[in-house]
Chains A and B, each alone.
Chain A
Amino acid sequence: MKFITAAALAVLAASAHAGAPDSLCVSCHDEKNTPFHASVHSAVGCTGCHADIKAFPHPDHVAKVSCGSCHSSEVSALQTSVHLKAAEQPCLACHGDVHAVVPAKNSKSTVYPLNLPRTCGACHGDKKFAQEHGLPEVYSQYMDSIHGFALTKDGLLVAATCSSCHGAHDILAPSDPKSRTFRANIPDTCGTCHGGIEQRYFAGIHGNELRAGNAKAPVCTNCHTAHQISNVRDASFQMKTTATCGDCHQERYGTYRDTFHAQVSALGYVETAHCWDCHNAHDILRASDPKSTVAQANLIQTCGKCHTGANASFVTYGPHADAHNAKAYPALHASAVFMNLLLASLLGVFAVHTVAWFIRSRAEMAHEHRSKS
């Protein structure tokens, strides 16, 4: 910033001597539509950017202004960005009218945190645009997310906006390994704010697998989504996230669904045990790891979080018990077989009994009716 100010002052000093004074420019280019004097660029003066204008009146064709002559690092960052060719003048597409540009910290700036989503949304909030470019409709998703609410409802300048995750000038496609939103970089990107969570994530099995190069290891966005991030304490988020875990852990999800926790969860009881209540959300460890919340030695404490009075016997309960698995759950399997036989035989015999009785009764009544008449 200091460098830019110094450069601006240098240009100003130079223009004061070499270029035409601004008062001369406004005699033709009035300020009706553009409050240039209020712009951060007013300090540079007209000829600070339109440096090829040396005399008054100037020729019909003047040179195209290069923003990079002052903003060199931003413009060079833009060279690799997906936005380089997004518009004829990519700088202006986000920063708006160059003659009215104000510093990013100014609340009127198009890139001020509270305004940035709307600025990006000019393109990324357009359904047609999203379809044409094969992009998700991120604007509405973001606005309804916890980050969007933090920004728009709570007015938090620290809330994550578009540039917090995607960067500003050097936005790369998520498929680019250098991109902040490249799969393997996502924990670091989210970790710039959620540092504590990132630490726990990398302490857990998912983070470890990601580091080891496992392409299936989930990153933040797999569970939280990228743009529709909910408050993790929201019932609706908790209700659907067990299924998210189940996308990968299909067998464990299937056996969870047969148990009491899942049954009451399906009826809207948020307080019941979901995956992360026992396994943790970020620092998930293998059950074989003695530090795991589901390691044998820690079960009493883990179950005891909800079940006051849980003891060594209590934790032999199978939260993933599978009645089809006779080897692992012989008693449960035997009970299931017995109950099925009991139900099938009793109901089977009496279903036949009932139908036969109905037919016989109708026959008897018809007979009585005949003998009466």
Chain B
Amino acid sequence: MSSPNSTDAQNRYYTRFTPAQRLLHAALLTTFLGLAATGLPLRFSSSIWSQRLAHAVGGFSAILFFHKFCAVLLTIAFLAHVGDIVYRCVIKKQWSLLWGPESMVPRFKDIQDFFGQLRWFLFLGPKPQFDRFTYWEKLDYWGVFWGMAIIGISGYAMWFAPAFARLVPGSWLNVALLIHGEEALLAVSWIFVIHFFNEHLRPHNFPMDISIFTGSQTEEELKERHPEEYARLAANGELERIRTQAAPQWLSRSARVFGTAAIVIGVVLIVLTIRAFVAG
């Protein structure tokens, strides 16, 4: 590991995320924390901490205001993302977005990788050779996508309840509250436990992987985490296309501070959630 090559691999940087993707993640992260912090007290409204938090920020009206404020921002980010995908597919004809190794759309290899990973867990096989996006990254993406659609639609239904009742029966509002709350529970559990571990807290990435904030990764990281992508790009001679500089120190430092704050807030929220859940 101490060969000159590995030092080179630590100093050569490649782009993993575009500025737009990093901005989207930052927007999701911030509004999601805001939504969770203001939504969980509603879901567990009989908990002492919910009532104290509501009291501290100025009562239910303030909580609901922040919740709706974050919801609108997240909706804008979501629509901008969907708009961007549609634009790139329909106008720019970037079909690689919809299929292939650069796409978020699941393919058969993801299932193979999933079972390959399970075999590796059990010491029954080698680590799967992941391409640009691993199966758990795709699960994160589609989980958030599905979650935003479900939570968003049910949330707006309750926000504009009488208008919603003109389209569908009012009894659906009961269903809306139920799935809004349950899907939100799934979302916070997924993000604050599964996503945090998969991307940040697991031993190889601990305490966090800041590439989603800085946009770049080292050659060593690319080879280690996305060997098939590295091999593919190297074979096509495309590696130089994504070659970049190391992130400036201010950016990686801010990323660490920002990321740590997000992880701490998330962990506190999930602990409170589990407490409220256990207490009933």
Task: Pick the 9 closest A-B CB pairs, nearest first.
Answer: A314-B165, A309-B162, A269-B60, A266-B45, A339-B182, A267-B54, A317-B170, A267-B60, A356-B121
Docked Cα-Cα span, A166 to B85, in Å, equals 77
Known contacts A268-B60, A313-B169, A317-B170: A347-B186 contact under CB 8 Å: yes
A-B contact pairs, 13 of them (CB 8 A): A266-B46, A307-B162, A309-B162, A311-B165, A313-B166, A314-B165, A335-B179, A336-B178, A343-B182, A343-B185, A358-B203, A361-B202, A363-B123
Q: A2: CB under 8 A from chain B?
A: no
Interface centre among A267, A268, A313, A331 (most CB of B within 10 A): A267
Tell me the minimal C-beta distance from B47 to chain A in angstroms: 9
Interface of B, helix, strand, loop or mixed by DSSP: helix
Chain A 335-369: CB-based contact to B (< 8 A → 1; otherwise 0): 11001101100110011011011111111010000
State whether A314 touches B121 (Cβ < 8 A): no
Known contacts A267-B54, A268-B59, A309-B162: A346-B186 contact under CB 8 Å: yes
Segment from B187-195, B215-223, B238-246, B256-264 that makes contact with A:
B187-195
Return the chain B residue nearest A371 by Cβ.
B1
Tell me the minimal C-beta distance from A311 to chain B in angstroms: 6
The residue from A269, A310, A332 contacting B61, defined by CB atoms under 8 A apart: A269
State whether B169 touches A316 (Cβ < 8 A): yes
Docked Cα-Cα span, A372 to B183, in Å, equals 46
> How many residue pairs at the A-B interface have CB separations less than 8 Å?
138
Docked Cα-Cα span, A182 to B168, in Å, equals 52
Q: A308: CB under 8 A from chain B?
A: yes
Q: A318: CB under 8 A from chain B?
A: yes
Docked Cα-Cα span, A307 to B178, in Å, equals 20
Return the chain B residue nearest A356 by Cβ.
B121
Q: Which residues of B contact A335 (CB under 8 A)?
A: 175, 178-179
State whether A314 touches B161 (Cβ < 8 A): yes
Interface of A, helix, strand, loop or mixed by DSSP: helix
Docked Cα-Cα span, A342 to B46, in Å, equals 25
Q: B50: CB under 8 A from chain A?
A: yes
Q: Which residues of A contact B1 (CB under 8 A)?
A: 372
Q: Which residues of A contact B128 (CB under 8 A)?
A: none
State whether A339 touches B179 (Cβ < 8 A): yes
Docked Cα-Cα span, A89 to B263, in Å, equals 76
Tell me the minimal C-beta distance from A314 to chain B in angstroms: 4
Q: Which residues of B contact A315 (CB under 8 A)?
A: 170
The residue from A267, A331, A372 contacting B59, defined by CB atoms under 8 A apart: A267
Q: B174: CB under 8 A from chain A?
A: yes
State whether B54 touches A316 (Cβ < 8 A): no
Known contacts A267-B60, A335-B179: A310-B162 contact under CB 8 Å: yes
Docked Cα-Cα span, A307 to B159, in Å, equals 11
Interface residue tally on B, bucketed by range: 35 or more
Docked Cα-Cα span, A264 to B52, in Å, equals 13
Segment from A68-76, A129-137, A255-263 that makes contact with B:
A255-263
Known contacts A267-B63, A268-B55, A269-B60: A318-B174 contact under CB 8 Å: yes
Docked Cα-Cα span, A294 to B63, in Å, equals 30
Docked Cα-Cα span, A234 to B217, in Å, equals 60
Q: Which residues of A contact B59 (CB under 8 A)?
A: 267-269
Q: Which residues of A contact B183 (CB under 8 A)?
A: 339
Q: A323: CB under 8 A from chain B?
A: yes
Return the chain B residue nearest A266 by Cβ.
B45
The residue from B41, B60, B202 contacting A357, defined by CB atoms under 8 A apart: B202
Interface centre among A262, A265, A350, A361 (most CB of B within 10 A): A350
The residue from B170, B182, B190 contacting A314, defined by CB atoms under 8 A apart: B170
Tell me the minimal C-beta distance from B145 to chain A in angstroms: 14
State whether B42 touches A267 (Cβ < 8 A): yes
Docked Cα-Cα span, A342 to B43, in Å, equals 18
| Residues in B lying within 8 Å of A, measured CB to CB | 1, 41-43, 45-46, 50-51, 54-55, 59-61, 63-64, 117-118, 120-123, 158, 161-163, 165-166, 168-175, 177-179, 182-183, 185-186, 189-190, 193-194, 197-198, 202-204
Docked Cα-Cα span, A264 to B121, in Å, equals 45
Known contacts A335-B179, A347-B186, A361-B202: A317-B42 contact under CB 8 Å: no
Tell me the minimal C-beta distance from A327 to chain B in angstroms: 14
Tell me the minimal C-beta distance from B2 to chain A in angstroms: 9
Q: A25: CB under 8 A from chain B?
A: no
Tell me the minimal C-beta distance from B280 to chain A in angstroms: 11
Q: A116: CB under 8 A from chain B?
A: no
Q: Which residues of B contact A259 (CB under 8 A)?
A: 174, 177
State whether A313 touches B60 (Cβ < 8 A): no
Known: A317-B171, A339-B183. 11 other contacts (CB 8 A): A264-B60, A267-B51, A267-B63, A268-B54, A309-B162, A313-B170, A335-B179, A354-B194, A356-B118, A360-B123, A365-B203
Q: Which residues of B contact A317 (CB under 8 A)?
A: 161, 165, 170-171, 173-174
Docked Cα-Cα span, A318 to B203, in Å, equals 48
Return the chain B residue nearest A363 by Cβ.
B123
State whether A362 touches B161 (Cβ < 8 A): no
Return the chain A residue nearest B139 by Cβ.
A350
Docked Cα-Cα span, A317 to B118, in Å, equals 46
Q: Which residues of A contact B43 (CB under 8 A)?
A: 263
State whether B177 touches A267 (Cβ < 8 A): no
State whether B163 touches A309 (Cβ < 8 A): yes
Tell me the minimal C-beta distance from A85 to chain B in angstroms: 49
Q: A321: CB under 8 A from chain B?
A: yes
